[in-house]
Structure 1
Amino acid sequence: MALHWHGYAWTGNGGIPDSQRRPDPDIGFRGNDYPPLVTGHWLLKPQRLIRGTWDEPDAAISWLREQYEASPEPGGPAFETRMWHAADGLPRGNDVTWAYWLGGGRFAHFSVVSCPRRLEPGINCPTGEG
């Protein structure tokens, strides 16, 4: 199974109840587009929420850069630090999530999720790859 990455993006009102972000079928987890509490649980969401799929980590990192530039963080860790962590972690099968407040109660959440899951082998690839 070849390692690849899926990208997810969400921007909206940051006041989402945690119960809506857990994979409980009774609350419609799979039907909403809210970011899950556990990054790997993005893969349990509908395939329509995937914003990109990449076979190379550099392509996924470029996508993260584009998302950040379109919705920059007002303060927080230096962008170069975020980029370094993405470049270090993605090739090793780690996930990357950049989540931050934009102001006015709005929240930005961008994730690149490694697939297949090393630590969660029961989560299948949503696109059937690997």
Structure 2
Amino acid sequence: MITIFSCCVKVVEAKSVLKEMVESAFQPNIYVLISLIQCYGKADQIDNVVTTFDRIIELGITPDERTCGCLLNVMTQTPREELGKLTRCIQITNPKLGSLIEADAMDIVGYCHCTYDLKRVC
């Protein structure tokens, strides 16, 4: 349900299902949290993207290639002034790729389109 709501950018509904899930003693997995990151990104809620990413770390879940790809996709939709928040998440997810990304040194939005394919190399 969370993935379906996330794909449709129904933030309130996705958050409601997550809340119900947690209240029922089910911990969200990487797939659920990535879906939420994508949803928040499409809704221009970058602070919620970062909060959800931090939750992944707090739950002891190792961010993987899908997490990195999702964050890069969100970066392509993010205003330049908010990119620094996401750069930190990329650096945690993939330090090699994170070292390539410097929000002040390049046009990140265009760069992310190219980097999305490069993430597999790193």
Query: TM-score scaled by structure 1?
Result: 0.31
> Which structure shows the higher strand fraction?
1
> Which structure shows the higher helix fraction?
2
